[in-house]
A = this chain, B = another copy of it.
Amino acid sequence: MRELEEKIAREGKVLPGNVLKVGSFLNQQIDTAFTMRMGEEVKRLFEGREITKVLTVEASGIAFAFAVSVSLGVPMVFAKKHASANVSGDLYTASVYSYTHKTSYEIVVSKDYISSEDKLLLVDDFLANGNALKGMIEIANQAGAEVVGCSSAIEKGYQGGGDELRARGYKVESLAIVESMENGLVFRTQK
C-alpha cells in the first residue's frame, strides 16, 4: 500500500536495535482516518473469501483490527495477554515469545467467542518473527476454526516470520514489507 510506505518513510523512526518506531500514526498515537483506509485495503486483498471474524492480540493490534473489522462487516475478537476478572469460564490459550521484551506471555480468548464455525482473519499491527500470529493459529486450531489468512500493517521481511507462514501455505498479506532499514528504508515490491 503505497500510502503506508510513504507514511513510514516520512514519519517512522529507526531506533537502535532495528526497532522501527511508528508511534506517531500506528502505535500510541493513531491516525484513525488513515487506519480506516488500511482496513479497506485489507478487504480488497481478501475479496471473495468468506470471513466471519477478525482475531488480534491486545493492545497494539486492536486499532488496525478494528478498522479491518469495520470494512469486512464482521465482529473482531482480541486475545488478552493474561486472564483477568473479566475473562472467565473456559479459555483457549497459547504461549507467545516476544523478541521485543525477551519473555514469553500467554494469550487468552474465551471459548464463548470463537467456535468451529468460524473462518478467521488473523490481524496484527506488526509481523516480525510471526510469533503472535502463530499463537493465534494455535488458538484457531484449538477452536477448530478455519484460518482464512493473516494480515499485518507492517511486516519486517528480513525477520522471516511472514515468509515462513507463506511457506506453510497461509495467505499472508502485509500492507508494507520492510526488507531492510540499515541504509534507508527498502520495501518489498508487491502487486
Contact = CB atoms under 8 A, between A and B. Distances in A.
Interface of A: 15, 17, 19, 21, 23-25, 27-33, 35-36, 58-60, 62-63, 66-67, 69-70, 73, 75-78, 80, 84-88, 100-101, 109-110, 112-113
Contacts of A85: 17, 19, 100-101
B70 A28 contact: no
Contacts of A35: 66
Contacts of A30: 66, 69, 75-78
B70 A33 contact: yes
Given A33-B70, A59-B59, A66-B66, 5 more contacts: A23-B113, A28-B86, A30-B75, A59-B62, A62-B66
Nearest to A114: B29
A66 B23 CA distance: 15
Contact of A28 (B19, B28, B109): B109
Contact of A66 (B24, B63, B80): B63
Contacts of A31: 75
